[in-house]
């Protein structure tokens, strides 16, 4: 019988952040593609669009006029999924049908007044202003007595559900801790309780030693394809220093963070020579008043493009019914990204 080869044979990989497994099938990356072909977006946008509800000076759907903002701009989402004034309450029926009210605040952050830019096009100093605003909003929203978690994220590209191409992200702050951060909290705190060290600090040390999945790095941050990656060119951005949330980041680290975001975004755009779509989000410690010594801030990038700029990856079939599954190994994905740095 052949010797098991992690680069050739089907296997499962464990995700210690979620306590879950992912099925990896390296041989399937060789199969031909005869499925749907997507039309990808090209950067042909003007610097200012008079019809864009996020551009400076334009009127939004609720009738409010945007200020002539020179860098970043944040406002409460006009179509918020969560509302601060939602009344408390719950519903149960025979302990099987259960519902609980959820309060929260949803905000939109414009990264730049320029309609035609993305993070990869912006200067590091401009991205640093975005990081400044992320920090400010995390602290401001997290200080509210009914907010237990602040989720900062960006959906880039229409394929990821973005309703506006203007460079922007969102913040959803809510009264409960959502599912993915809750699982990461449990795993990180359990690891810290047992080892008195951060799970992601130990993991990062291992990755820096092996080097095979590292994409870009600087003095303060490292971007790599995680060993347990699910999305084709998924990456995770990790600070070298163990800290739990943006309230604990230094000014130098904010510059390093901005640098890594720009360089990684640039690599993504080079990969398929298009404005690369993705969903990205920062995971950090909850704001529910409890101590979380094991929490290690990090940022996930989940890009859907599979083999070309016209082929994307959905979670379907086995992935919806059983476990996540991927064909491109994290090592080969990292190599392709690293070659474009």
Closest among 329, 157, 322, 337 to 232, alpha carbons compared: 329
How far is the CA of 189 from the CAs of 131, 183, 227, 248, 296, in angstroms?
26, 10, 20, 18, 10
Distance CA 88, CA 63 (A): 30
Q: List, in order, residues 6 or more apart from 235 with CB less than 8 Å away.
A: 215, 223, 224, 225, 226, 229, 264, 300, 301, 337
3-state secondary structure of 221: strand
Active site residues: 168
Distance CA 110, CA 49 (A): 14
Closest among 127, 88, 93 to 111, alpha carbons compared: 127
Distance CA 181, CA 149 (A): 9
CA end-to-end span of the chain, whole Å?
40
**CA 285 distance to own-chain centroid:** 15
Half-sphere exposure of 46 (CA within 13 A, CB side): 6
The full DSSP string for 45-70 is --S--TT-TTSTT-B-TTSPBPP--S
Distance CA 143, CA 173 (A): 11
Phi, psi (rounded to 5 degrees) for 111? -75, -30
Report residue 98 as tokens: 């259960």
3-state secondary structure of 211: coil
């Amino acid at each position: 019988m052949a010797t098991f080869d992690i680069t050739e044979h089907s296997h499962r990989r464990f995700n210690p952040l979620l306590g879950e497994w992912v099925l990896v099938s390296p041989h399937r990356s060789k199969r031909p593609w005869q499925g749907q072909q997507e039309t990808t977006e090209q950067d042909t946008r003007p610097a200012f669009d008079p019809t864009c509800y996020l551009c400076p000076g334009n009127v939004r759907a609720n009738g409010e006029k945007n200020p002539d903002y020179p860098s970043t701009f944040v406002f409460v989402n006009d179509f918020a999924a969560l509302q601060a004034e939602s009344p408390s309450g719950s519903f149960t029926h025979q302990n099987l049908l259960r519902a609980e009210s959820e309060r929260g605040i949803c905000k939109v952050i414009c990264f730049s007044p320029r309609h035609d830019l993305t993070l990869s096009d912006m200067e590091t100093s401009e991205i640093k202003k975005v990081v400044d605003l992320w920090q400010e909003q995390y602290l401001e929203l997290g200080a509210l007595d009914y907010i237990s978690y602040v989720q900062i994220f960006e959906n880039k590209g229409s394929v990821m559900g973005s309703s506006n191409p203007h460079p922007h992200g969102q913040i959803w702050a809510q009264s409960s801790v959502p599912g993915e951060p809750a699982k990461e909290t449990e795993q990180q705190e359990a690891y810290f309780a047992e080892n008195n060290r951060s799970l992601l600090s130990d993991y990062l040390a291992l990755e820096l030693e092996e080097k095979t999945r590292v994409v870009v790095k600087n003095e303060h941050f490292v971007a790599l394809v995680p060993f347990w990656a699910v999305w084709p060119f998924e990456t995770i951005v990790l600070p070298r220093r163990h800290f739990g949330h943006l309230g604990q980041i230094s000014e130098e680290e904010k510059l390093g963070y901005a640098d890594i975001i720009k360089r990684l975004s640039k690599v993504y755009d080079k990969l398929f020579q298009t404005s690369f779509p993705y969903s990205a989000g920062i995971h950090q410690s909850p704001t529910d008043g409890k101590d979380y010594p094991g929490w290690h801030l990090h940022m996930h990038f989940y890009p859907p493009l599979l083999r070309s700029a016209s082929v994307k990856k959905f979670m379907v079939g086995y992935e919806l019914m059983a476990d996540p599954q991927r064909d491109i190994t994290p090592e080969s994905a990292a190599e392709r990204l690293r070659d474009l740095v």
